[in-house]
Structure 1
């Protein structure tokens, strides 16, 4: 698989290496986890009153990983910082300080506390220590990770509408998941090979026969940059049936470009559905 599925493949008592997805620089080397645990949803604390017959016992507590822990969120994972070299160099990092790759200067995540780092799944590749790092084209990796997040959340929580926000708090795109089991089959019947543009670059297609198959998700979306679709974005913001997803702001712009390229690859008559882009 192109994408390393964290929830299925990240196991305790195995050594892993964390790489910057953009340049391949090693971020965390030979880390062994004693516990790999899923985090509750972002609004879990709002429901505590429904569970407890006494005051919220977690009101003053926060879920921070200890040494040897890895906590998995919807679009990120939390690690105990330990002696990681990518932590900001100040003696006591402030909350939400950006964590930057030293080689390519890409944002990898942010510090949650003085001993906890949040890494976004779209910025970091995790491999078992015995495996070598193999680069994946950036657009291919981003769309695969986002599709994985949408599929997992829709299956686990019966959620099909999502707001994609940047780490700056701004909403970049509204996504409505139609289905996650689409299979794309591409074939070419012409007598000569030709080159086509895809989000992954120029690909030379053979002259005839099936070219390949891909699993895909089908979504409707509305861009929200430059105050576009503000009323709809505000309505979704206050809708409990809409699930927020947060990524680095630069990645949100990349996702918008990927969606736009996908839309323009469709025939004009299939590019819109009920005012949403396909």
Structure 2
């Protein structure tokens, strides 16, 4: 994919665990480096440049150590790199994914994320259970002296159940589904094991779409069972009112935060850091390597930037005052699984049991690809690659 976005004027990454940060100012906005100053304020970081002042709001407990800012490099085409030291009294907690919010004996409604229409009404779960994941079948075969008793058998929800996959919900179908969901005709379902081991090539399953907008939400894995992907639906409790602002939330931001939160959960609970983003057919689409989840990032040209051009007191020139907030983010390495490109790396990852498969609809895989490449193109050139991999940030 061609890079269509320009490097941000200002890029800031703060590492909470390392208590350090990197600030990069693009060459054409820096001017004279001696006129650039960085100072700390009340839960903020102020970056003063010749024609602009940027105030970065920081989360509670994160402050700049005054006088710690030092120049690392200043090259044409790359910009001015500055290192900062931080004092971190309180680490920012990563928000949990939707998987953590679903509980028993509470009423939930499932909505299409793209149009906001409810597709499943008032589900009260008596059991919320995780499905076996990763290379579970392979481990059973390697470590158990008896044959796998679950081989060629589906793990399907009973009435009142919600089964949680890595990227989807398995839910029993009811009569209301026919009014809100449409099922595309597809091949006859075969009786295959329904753990999450994507190394076994799954059978093709009919897709389930929203009747209101036609968006693909998941698949019909059995006559009475639905698979709904967490990237395609939002989950609301019964007492939550319809919020048009939430419904109209950027598809890109929702997708970015949903996947980032899930990566953090899998890394912290199961010590998984390498992921193969795959289509339902089992084809690898993107290889993802989670580097860290303690970053706070801010950029001058992010959508959060706001402000007007003002005349600062004592300034003879027109100085723009802008502000933005530093957002929690994960830093990832990624590799697009394009034909005839990096085939050796792709083959090695496919054979490695330490790589965890994550299955999403093909259109969603393409959206994730656009998210990652857009993030990469906004970074300073020297930060865009690491060996054969590209670098990106995903907000939490």
Q: TM-score per shorter chain, which class? A: 0.7 to 0.9
* Structure 1 residue 67 corresponds to structure 2 residue 67: no
Residue 110 of structure 1 corresponds to: 219
Moved more, 68-77 or 223-232: 223-232
Partner of 2:174: 82
Equivalent residue, structure 2, for 1:18: 110
Distance 2:215 2:97 in 1: 22
Cα deviation code 1:49-105 (max 9, x no counterpart): 456443322224321000110001111110011221225287x97461100111221
Partner of 1:205: 306
CA contact (8 A) 2:134 2:356 kept: no
| Structure 1 residue 48, shift from structure 2 partner | 2.3
**In structure 2, what is the Cα distance between the partners aligned to 1:227 and 1:104?**
37
Pair 18,60 (structure 1): closer, same or farther in 2 beyond 3 Å: same
Is contact 2:207–2:218 with CA below 8 Å preserved after alignment? yes
Structure showing greater relative contact order (alpha-carbon pairs closer than 8 Å, 6 or more residues apart): 2
1:152-167 equivalences under 5 Å are 152-167=265-280
SS at match of 1:82: coil
Partner Cα separation in structure 1 for residue 213 and residue 109 of structure 2: 18
How far, CA to CA, are the matches of 2:226 and 2:340 in structure 1?
31
Residues 259-268 or 131-140, more deviating: 131-140
- Distance in 1 of aligned mates of 2:341 and 2:229: 26
Match of 1:40 among 132, 138, 150: 132
Note if 1:271 corresponds to 2:384.
yes
Instruction: Give unmatched runs, 5+ long, in structure 1.
Output: 189-195
Aligned to 1:55: 147
**Structure 2, gaps ≥5 residues long:** 1-92, 191-204, 308-319, 392-396
* Counterpart-to-counterpart distance in 1, 2:348 and 2:184: 41
Task: Using the TM superposition, name which of 81-90 and 157-166 deviates more.
Answer: 81-90
Match of 1:193 in 2: none
Q: Deviations over 1:163-203 (max 9, x none)?
A: 111123322211111101111245x6xxxxxxx4x5xxx55
The farther-off stretch of 49-58 and 226-235 is 49-58
Q: CA deviation at 1:258?
A: 0.6
How many residues align? The count is: 265
Q: Residue 243 of structure 1 aligns with which residue?
A: 356
Distance between the aligned counterparts of 1:110 and 1:53, measured in 2?
Answer: 35
Secondary structure, counterpart of 2:236 in structure 1: strand
Superposition deviation, residue 4 in structure 1: 7.3
Instruction: Name which one, 1 or 2, has greater alpha-carbon Rg.
Output: 2
Distance of 1:233 and 1:113 partners within structure 2: 32
| TM-score, normalising length: structure 2 | 0.62
SS of residue matched to 1:183? strand
Q: Cα–Cα, structure 1 residues 4 and 241, in superposed 2: closer, same or farther, change >3 Å?
A: closer
- Name the CA distance, whole Å, in 2 between partners of 1:48 and 1:270: 42
Q: What is aligned with 2:289?
A: 176
Query: In structure 2, how many angstroms separate the alpha carbons of the residues matched to 1:51 and 1:168?
Result: 28
- Cα distance in 2 between the residues matched to 1:170 and 1:59: 22
Shift in alpha-carbon separation, 1:258–1:60, aligned structure 2, 3 A: closer
CA distance in structure 2 between the aligned counterparts of 1:146 and 1:215, rounded to whole angstroms: 14
